[in-house]
Amino acid sequence: MKASLFVTCVVDQFYPEVGESAVRVLRRLGVEVDFQEEQTCCGQPAFNSGFRSDAKPLAKRFLDTFESSESIVIPSGSCAAMVRVFYEELFHDEPDLAAKARNVAAKTFELTEFIVDALGITRLPESSGPPRRTRVTYHEGCHLRRELGVMTQPRALLEAAPGVELAPMRQADVCCGFGGAFAVKYPDISGGMLADKLRHVAETGADAVTACDSTCLMQIAGGMEKSGMTTRAVHVAQLLDEAMG
């Protein structure tokens, strides 16, 4: 199976290690990974802020870049939702582009969704050395859950990962307060939501908090550092990489 990685602008610029983990995990599961260097950003920041004409060229670039890929894998529920759900809306009055968007959407997956649903993998290869034991709690990204309907796949993979123990979090599906431009426009409301999330993370006593979106983790990690929590914030791709490594 071949997969084109859309690494997202946030991973590219802030969390390249997440992209590296995604590549290693996919390769270990037998996937032939490529990276189309023409990719930049899916356009979500502009779309969510209402600047649709600014989002369109980026969406077009994405469609052109990935049109001929066999499948497209994104280590982010939010960016995957932009492509899968919102491109069609963005091009609702341009039938040709809307059709192209539908075609690309049909082969676009969030990372854990790709592994479980497209590859049909729920058992992971054993790691070479003894697994590193980690108690992990999982935060559910909003777009992942509610736009893509991906709820069971990340948990299934985490449960299957050697050495990983999953600690359930209260209100795991409640927004961390990031919301892209929302956190910039309303930093204090966003901060209030973050404080609730941090309380729920702390209650679990987990060593690490994980999610399928680097943006949620950017928010949560930033809040944890500010409030002196020592819990690690790691992307699911990194945990899977560690567990299989």
Partner 1 sequence: MKPKTGDFNRAAASALADADVQRNMRGLYDGFHMARERAAEATPNWEDLRDRARAVKAHTIEYLDHYLGMAAENVERAGGKVFFAKDADEASRYILDLAAARGVKTVIKSKSMLSEEMGLNARLEEAGVEPVETDLGEYLIQLRGETPYHIVAPALHLSKEQVADLLQEEIGGPRYERAEDLTAAAREQLRGKFFEADMGITGANFLVAETGTLVLVTNEGNGRMCTSMPKVHVAIMGMEKVVPSMEDMGMFLRLLIRSATGQRLSSYVTLVNGVRRDDDVDGPEEFHLVVVDNGRSKMLADPALREALYCLRCGACLNACPVYRKVGGHSYGWVYSGPIGAVVSPMLTSLPDAKDLPYASSLCGACREVCPVRIDIPRMLLHMRSDLAEGGPHSGSPRASLAERLTMKAWRLAVARPWMLRLANRLARLAQRPLVKDGRLRKLPPPLSAWTRHRTFPAVASRPFRDRWRSELRKSRRDG
Contacting partner 1 within 94-153 (CB under 8 A): 125, 142-143, 145-147
Tokens at 171, concatenated: 């209100």
Cβ proximity to partner 1, 24 vs 135, nearer residue: 24
Among 2, 54, 122, 132, binds partner 1 (CB under 8 A): 54
For 26-53, b/e burial (b = at least 16 CB within 10 A) is beebebebeebeebebbbbbbbbeeeee
Among 64, 67, 70, 89, binds partner 1 (CB under 8 A): 89
Is residue 218 near partner 1 by the rule CB under 8 A? yes
Q: How far is the CB of 131 from partner 1 (least distance, A)?
A: 15
Is residue 84 near partner 1 by the rule CB under 8 A? no
Q: How far is the CB of 13 from partner 1 (least distance, A)?
A: 5
Identify the burial level of 135 via C-beta atoms within 10 angstroms of its C-beta, where 0-12 means exposed, 13-18 middle and 19 or more buried.
middle
Cβ proximity to partner 1, 135 vs 245, nearer residue: 245
**In the range 155-194, which residues lie near partner 1 by CB under 8 A?**
171, 173-175, 177-194
Tokens at 123, concatenated: 């058992």
Q: How far is the CB of 118 from partner 1 (least distance, A)?
A: 19
Compute CA distances 195 → 70, 133, 141, 146, 223, whole Å. 41, 27, 16, 22, 8
